[in-house]
Amino acid sequence: MQTRLPPSNLYLREEELRRGVELLYFAYRDFTGDPDNILIKQQFGRAHHRVLYFVGRNPNIPVSGLLKLLRITKQSLSRVLSQLMDEGYIVQEQGIMDRRQRLLKLTEKGIKFEAELFSSQRERIARAYKNAGPEAVSGFWEVLLNIIDGEHRDSVLKQIEK
Amino acid sequence: MQTRLPPSNLYLREEELRRGVELLYFAYRDFTGDPDNILIKQQFGRAHHRVLYFVGRNPNIPVSGLLKLLRITKQSLSRVLSQLMDEGYIVQEQGIMDRRQRLLKLTEKGIKFEAELFSSQRERIARAYKNAGPEAVSGFWEVLLNIIDGEHRDSVLKQIEK
DNA sequence: AATAATCAGTCAATATTCCTGACATAATAA
DNA sequence: TTATTATGTCAGGAATATTGACTGATTATT
């Protein structure tokens, strides 16, 4: 096994680091291409997808929570969110604990559309997981998690571990 | 070891697939943030970085080659490339085999700037590789490569394996 | 040699996404 | 009462990318 070999830092050479950069770039591009092709039909963009995705994953998230998660300005979110609400994909309810808050959740229509978008990515990810095998997948998660800023890692873990 | 455990497809459940989606999103965001902060000072954007990166990795690449690699239109490339040439980061030479071609390469100034941009990402990637270990890194590469479209995988391998 | 195709560049118009700044309203906290 | 927070909106602008149309130089085809 790799772990029984004498320690080697060959995987930390410049070529191996650049390999990570390039694989991330190309994989991310193809991976976002699937939903992009569906979104374009509804005159939506990647920003709409992100909102649908994270509202779907965090029902009743307040607007401020979504802004922190996506790290965009409320002006940027405004247009996208308004369109999604106008077209019946998302609804907001006044908060109970804090009535200033607007809690966001997907409608039935939103749930269906998000599922369609996710399914276009699911096939790609599932195929990649299957081809690479469970150990590779663990490594994939481990490296990605360590690429994320330390200060944000907790919120990501909270996001993905449920 | 994982490989001695009875076969399991738990890693192919929806939760695990969504974990991949989310880790990719957050990791890609932080990972592109490092060079973004440097680029903004020179009034450059992410598009300039991509051109600098791939010209650096493919010296004497013709314009058409860069267009194929980046999958953008020549009109999009035009503005970015003109700026990079005007400011002395990239030069072009007439092709020898085919004198219609303009072969691109980084100047000394371009090499230094690309190195600065890469170094901001190198620390992040190297730390992630080191924390995760060589086996995890292999898995990371394996999964990313399988996420890339089959039809593009060869050109990516050609790009990264040198 | 004439014609067609390719590589590169440019001009114009447009779309999308995101930004900063300023201001307003309602609700909560000090 | 005053300050702060959560949300929303208006205005203006920047960056990235698109499609379409056209030009010039060079190479390939017939």
CB A29, CB A121: distance < 8 Å: no
Mean pLDDT of all residues belonging to chain A: 90
Chain C: bases < 7 Å from a protein Cβ: 6-13, 16-22, 26-29
User: Within 10 A of A37 (CB to CB), how many other CB atoms are there?
Assistant: 9
Query: pLDDT value at position B41?
Result: 85
- Tokens 């922190």 -> residue: A68
CA distances from A65 to A70, B101, B115 (A): 9, 51, 37
Mean pLDDT of all residues belonging to chain B: 90
Closest residue on chain A to B46 (Cα): A25
Three-point CA angle B96, B54, A147, nearest 5°: 165
Place A3 in a pLDDT band, splitting at 50, 70 and 90.
low
pLDDT in tens, A133-155: 999 999 999 999 999 988 778 77
Instruction: Say yes or no for a CB contact (<8 Å) between A144 and B24.
Output: yes
DSSP characters over A144-156: HHHHS-HHHHHHH
Q: Domains, chain B, ranges and CATH? A: 16-129 (1.10.10.10)
Q: Is residue A2's pLDDT more than 60?
A: no
Q: Is residue B13's pLDDT more than 60?
A: yes
Quote ipTM for the complex: 0.89
Does residue B74 approach strand C to less than 7 Å at its CB?
Answer: yes
Query: pLDDT value at position A162?
Result: 45
Determine the average pLDDT of the residues in B67-92: 93
Determine the average pLDDT of the residues in B99-103: 96
Tell me the shortest Cα–Cα distance from B38 to chain A, in angstroms: 17
Nearest to B131 by CA among A147, A29, A152, A79: A147
Does residue A44 approach strand C to less than 7 Å at its CB?
Answer: yes
Tell me the chain A residues in contact with residue B149 when contact means C-beta distances shorter than 8 Å: 30
Query: pLDDT value at position B11?
Result: 80
Q: Can you tell me whether residue B107 is helix, strand or coil?
A: coil
Q: Can you tell me whether residue B149 is helix, strand or coil?
A: coil
Which pair of tokens denotes residue A90? 């998302």
Nearest to B87 by CA among B106, B61, B59: B106
Q: What is the DSSP letter of B111?
A: H
Query: pLDDT value at position B156?
Result: 74
CB A14, CB A8: distance < 8 Å: no
Which pair of tokens denotes residue B162? 């040198």
Does residue B62 approach strand C to less than 7 Å at its CB?
Answer: yes
Q: Is residue A1's pLDDT more than 60?
A: no
Query: pLDDT value at position A43?
Result: 85
pLDDT in tens, A69-91: 999 999 999 999 999 999 999 99
Q: Is residue B51's pLDDT more than 90?
A: yes
Q: Is residue B18's pLDDT more than 70?
A: yes
Q: Can you tell me whether residue A103 is helix, strand or coil?
A: strand
Instruction: Say yes or no for a CB contact (<8 Å) between A132 and B142.
Output: yes
Q: Which residues of A82-112 are buried (b: 16+ CB within 10 A; e: fewer)?
A: ebbbebebbebeeeeeeeebbbbbbeeebee
Place B162 in a pLDDT band, splitting at 50, 70 and 90.
very low
Lowest-confidence range among A99-103, A155-159, B34-38?
A: A155-159
